[in-house]
Amino acid sequence: MERRDYPKLFVLILPAALVFAAFFILPMARLAVVGGTGEDGLAAYASMVTTPRHFESMVATVLLSVGVTAAALAIATVAGLFLVRNRFPGRETLVSLLTFPLAFPGVVIGFMVILLAGRQGLVGTVTQALGADKLVFAYSMSGLFVGYLYFSIPRVILTIMAAAEKLDPALEEAARSLGASSWRVVRDVILPALKPGLIASGAICFATSMGAFGTAFTLATNIDVLPMTIYTEFTLNANIAGAASLSIILGLVTWAALFIARSLSGSTVAASG
Amino acid sequence: MTQETTAVSLTACAKTFADGTRALEPLDLEVEGGETVVLLGPSGCGKTTLLRIIAGLESPDRGGRVHFNDEDVTPRPIERRNVGMVFQSYALFPNMTVAGNVAYGLRVRKDPKAKVEARVDEMLAMMHIDDLADRRVDQLSGGQRQRVALARAIAVRPRVLLLDEPLTALDALLRDRLRVEIDSLLRALGITSIYVTHDQAEAMALGDRIVVMSQGRIAQIGTPRDIYHRPANDFVADFVGTVNRLPAAVLAGPDLPPGPEALFRPEDAELVGEGEGHFSARVTSAFFLGDRTRLILDAGGGAAPVVVESTLHDPVATGATVAVRVRPGGFMRLDGAGGRP
């Protein structure tokens, strides 16, 4: 790079810098400042620990996100491997249908969960017809879990399929020739090969579940996940400083999860989302 | 190393894939214990399918049987056949070190740790890669990788060693070196080995016997000398080495073979004085190779170009007419029924 190229370079980078400043740095800085200038001052940042409701909300959100991530990884790994290794009529259609949820906003997914497990839902009707109690779980953490799982699976499946297609079949055959059982092949060959993809897509799942709001808002206003708590603090309690500090903490936790995943997998996590 | 050797025997093994492709016509094959047999043929001839049937990675169509000695292993999958496999793509486990790869089969067998370590050291020393033990496999060259793959396959003392184009991915120089090493290794171990390749030089150098395959069938089984000097049919004659074909009409002189066509190898022909040869031909091109000159000749009469190698020092001019004699015994007879398979 020649020195005389610098002005040209500056002009080229200016749009990116402006966008970055306008939509990232400034709001984040403002949010951080607002979070610390409420009635409680900087203590607002400690509210995550000091206010039981905030703490419970945080724990519930993390647990939900971890559960969704684990379930999505398990289901998508099995399904993704199956789809890569088997050719059957309708396979292409199935794959494109599986990626369909990526196109839906959270509100639509919440609506679908209600249609499935709400008071008038399919699950309830079927369980009632079978003589059992009417099963309704749409308006709780379980409903949220189903909804998040629904839109997490496609992300993982696509990553797993991409990784599994690159896997040399000879690796598996070599392990088998050395006496490895199917389970050992999975443990020693397939999972290690999928590991970067699992970490990457798992991190995306976790981050998305931590921050998702539309689905929760559609299902019920009293589900205690962190984005809902932030919304409640902000709109109902007018506790702007509290909402801002919670937002910053939510952002930090999610960013930390992505950062850890990125350093574990040694690749660009965000690029695979 | 002394161990009981395993004979491999296939009876009526055919393979039809799910889409209806017939990869292998029903065939029988006997491999003696301790023998090295090379499956040779062009791509798509069924040699890899045959190897995979012996390995247990594919099962033969109904009726086909695979025996190791007197034991019917047909229903057993590969993990219960105790075979060693070496792949063209090396297939080393990227998440393990060199030593970890070599130890893998022993660890699967739950051998005691000390025994595993001793065996791994022994294998690494045998393949001259002791100093690479703690390396990751992505830090190795192609030749080193294939050595690790060999060590890994042999470490478990397999009954049969199966090698699927193990040298194809290597460059020429390395290929020659490793070929010599594999040859002495297989001889030292005395293990029954089945080696798949499309490279005839590899087949000649390594095989006690060569099985030449074409279109899912065995075209000929024999020692390298048999295959080269007494090909059973046109396919084998053309596939192994270079062969010249001339119509009987352009030939004259003693020892001519019967039949409408005469076959001979380039190295069995020599340039002679005018009137002393079996035929005369016009030189269409000449390539000086150092120790010899390769001549492409047109013998007229609509014959295909003839390749002859001359060791004469004097240059032969393009366009000149030369007389060519085939050495006594140089005309080949096809042992089999003759016709193309």
ipTM above 0.90, yes or no: no
Q: Place A272 in a pLDDT band, splitting at 50, 70 and 90.
A: very low
Q: Give pLDDT, residue A138.
A: 83
Nearest chain B residue (CA) to A176: B79
Nearest to A272 by CA among A116, A167, A162: A162
Contact status of B222 with chain A (Cβ, < 8 Å): no
Cα B308–chain centre separation: 25
Q: Which residue, among B222, B205, B221, B193, has the nearest Cα to B32 in the 3D structure?
A: B193
Mean pLDDT for chain B? Answer: 90
Report B:160-179 residues touching A (Cβ under 8 A).
162
Percent of chain B whose predicted confidence (pLDDT) is above 90: 61
In whole angstroms, what separates CA B187 from the centre of its chain?
Answer: 16
Which stretches of chain B are assigned E, i.e. beta strand?
A: 8-16, 22-31, 36-40, 65-68, 71-72, 83-86, 160-164, 192-197, 209-214, 217-222, 244-247, 261-264, 269-272, 279-288, 293-298, 306-310, 321-326, 331-332
Across the interface, which of A174, A188, A192 has its CB nearest the CB of B91? Answer: A174
Whether pTM exceeds 0.95: no
Out of A170, A179, A188, closest to residue B91 by CB: A170
User: pLDDT at residue A170 above 50?
Assistant: yes
Q: pLDDT > 90: what percent of chain A? A: 21
Interface contact A108, partner B, CB < 8 A? no
Query: According to the model, what pLDDT value does residue B291 have?
Result: 83
pLDDT score of A216: 87
pLDDT digits (tens, 9 = 90+) for B75-123: 999 999 999 999 999 999 999 999 999 999 999 999 999 999 999 999 9
Quick: pLDDT tens for A17-69: 888 888 888 888 888 888 877 777 777 777 777 888 888 888 999 999 999 99
Q: State the Cα–Cα distance between residues A226 and B83, nearest whole angstrom.
A: 57
What does pLDDT average to over chain A?
A: 85
Distances (CA, A) of B246 to B27, B172, B271: 33, 33, 16
User: Does residue A76 contact residue A241 with C-beta atoms inside 8 Å?
Assistant: no
Give tens-digit pLDDT for A125-142: 888 888 888 888 888 888
Confidence of residue B212 (pLDDT cuts 50, 70, 90): very high
**pLDDT score of A241 more than 50:** yes
Q: Note the CATH number of domain A52-265.
A: 1.10.3720.10
Other Cβ atoms less than 10 A from the Cβ of B336: the count is 15
Binary contact (B91, A171; C-beta < 8 A): yes
* Domain edges within chain A: 52-265
Query: What DSSP string runs through A183-216?
Result: HHHIIIIIHHHHHHHHHHHHHHHHHHHHH--HHH
pLDDT band at B2 (very low <50, low <70, confident <90, very high): very low
Give residue B175's Cα distance to chain centre.
Answer: 13
Does B104 contact A175 at a Cβ distance shorter than 8 Å? Answer: yes
| Residue B340 pLDDT grade (very low, low, confident, very high; cuts 50, 70, 90) | very low
Chain B interface includes A167 (CB < 8 A): no
